[in-house]
Structure 1
């Protein structure tokens, strides 16, 4: 029940609704059944415990066309009334992660998209406005820096400093590399959602 309550809360967030554009009732059952929900907590300097809930929603079906596999998920992380929502779209091509796009809803209610990985490589320089928000202009920069730091080494095939969720994601990517289908690629895509959620939480 806790999972379904968390997923229901995420689906009710305005930014999730805008980014997912879910129009059919059958979409909800697919999303709920395949969603991942988990919680974070850490002790702050004053000894208090900070809690947050995170949900990864598979909001778009995988598309296979011309050797491409594409899927989009939404990550929603909230701590009390403070909620952050990010959509990520992965495109696999030629047995590797070819493109990774992030999208959010900005303060004006518009969808803003940034490409983080293009043609299989991290983009070294992103636009100056990278997901700048009025209430916290550096928040999304911190998130992207966290993901890049944790995942660049794994994608490059070299050992990452400390424990990196992305190293686990790369292992899960192997079945997708061998035989690209919606089902073989789904575990790696969901794993990336966990990594993104952790970075979003740490950056709150």
Structure 2
């Protein structure tokens, strides 16, 4: 239950920052034995839940109180990470292959900022309510949703109606304010 090392801006990660249970970057590194071995807090809880009472690394008895390793936590929270969110669009090339859209969030910063703020505010992750079916849709997928997934648009004869196109256009105009001209033009090109 650690932090996926793929989001680190600088690879590879120092092996001392990796939990040996989940093999990811330590999340809430917790010291478990007198030898100072650390694991993710959630990982060590699962380990103990399976009635194991010895350190997974050295087999020494685990300490009763398992303190958060604050120094290690500080080092990990200062690691530079990239936001993994991207424009969730994959197009078929016609030869049974697909090409993933290269647009992705360009945010890079400390892990602490990512976890506290950016992870929740990233525009590539934002969702909006479809004006037709009311389903929550990632805004980068709105055009695709209207064209292929929206049950209300699909049930209308001949595909999306002018009302649907109007709703899609209003939504896309809202994205212009938030997401930039380039994303807006992608939605219109993709929609027609």
Specify the TM-score bucket, using the shorter chain as the normaliser. under 0.3
Bigger Rg, structure 1 or 2: 2
Greater RCO, 1 or 2 (C-alpha within 8 Å, sep 6+): 1
TM-score after normalising by structure 1: 0.21
**Structure ranking higher in strand proportion:** 1
